[in-house]
Structure 1
């Protein structure tokens, strides 16, 4: 797989890198796949995707997941399925970044990543703009990131 640092189509926001490698337009809207790079020690706030099932396929680096109150660690070559409507988050555990494919079904949520990269929004100062995009992409924040 190509290095995301060398790819001109890669989006960056708060140290995360995203590259959509299969678009909803290519699948009739049924899914999308995002190549994602998460900095060591970081992860998103707890959240719910109302419309999409989300599957993580870990390529490198381990991640701790929190899914509906249950914590577990996923290693490279493992997958994690998160059904739509499930409260969840994750955090890269190793000293190096975690790289994973994020499969979204149906596709469309990757537009949130594009909004964040375009606006380069900061947290907490730009939360109104982040929340506006989240609402448009059927995402609800429900709690803090993992410690």
Structure 2
């Protein structure tokens, strides 16, 4: 199958730019790959993907990850695997943005980033609507984002 990356414009949501590198449709449902560039001190609330494994490949910058209660700081060239059903989050640390490749198996969750970027829903102001839409992508929020140290 051919990648459709050139057909999809990047979207920006809460300061992070998401570019769909490989969509669910282009992979026959097997996976999706998203390139995400996130600013310092940014990161999502604690959450669980109920139906997808998630792999982060750190291309640049540094990010603190919380995975099932364990914290680690990862930099360029490092990878973290988040099995489906695992509670996790991350926060970009330092003064530089972080660039991640986010690989989801199976694909489909990339649609959440597209929706959020299109509609510009804000955390925490629009959390009720964000939570409702997240459930459609089998995502459940379980706690707050990581706080800056």
Kindly report which structure 2 residues correspond to 1:109-120, keeping only aligned pairs within 5 A, or say none: 109-120=109-120
User: Matches of 2:61 and 2:42 in 1, distance apart?
Assistant: 12
Which residue of 1 is the match for residue 121 of structure 2?
121
Alignment of 1:99 with 2:103, yes or no, is no
**Superposed displacement of residue 125, structure 1:** 2.0
Alignment of 1:135 with 2:131, yes or no, is no
Which residue of 1 is the match for residue 11 of structure 2?
11
Alignment of 1:34 with 2:34, yes or no, is yes
User: Matches of 1:37 and 1:74 in 2, distance apart?
Assistant: 15
Give the length in aligned residue pairs.
Answer: 140
Gaps of 5+ in 2: 1-7
CA-atom RMSD, angstroms? 0.9
**Superposed displacement of residue 94, structure 1:** 1.8
Once the two structures are superposed, residues 49-93 of structure 1 have per-residue CA deviations (whole angstroms, 9 ceiling, x without a partner) of 001100000000010000000000111001100000000000001
User: Matches of 1:131 and 1:143 in 2, distance apart?
Assistant: 12
User: Matches of 1:123 and 1:42 in 2, distance apart?
Assistant: 11
- What is the TM-score with the length of structure 2 in the denominator? 0.91
**Superposed displacement of residue 124, structure 1:** 2.0
Gaps of 5+ in 1: 1-7
Q: What SS class does the counterpart of residue 142 from structure 2 fall into? A: strand
Q: What SS class does the counterpart of residue 56 from structure 2 fall into? A: strand
Q: What SS class does the counterpart of residue 122 from structure 1 fall into? A: coil
Which residue of 2 is the match for residue 90 of structure 1?
90
User: Matches of 1:90 and 1:139 in 2, distance apart?
Assistant: 15
Q: Which moved more, 1:115-124 or 1:65-74?
A: 115-124
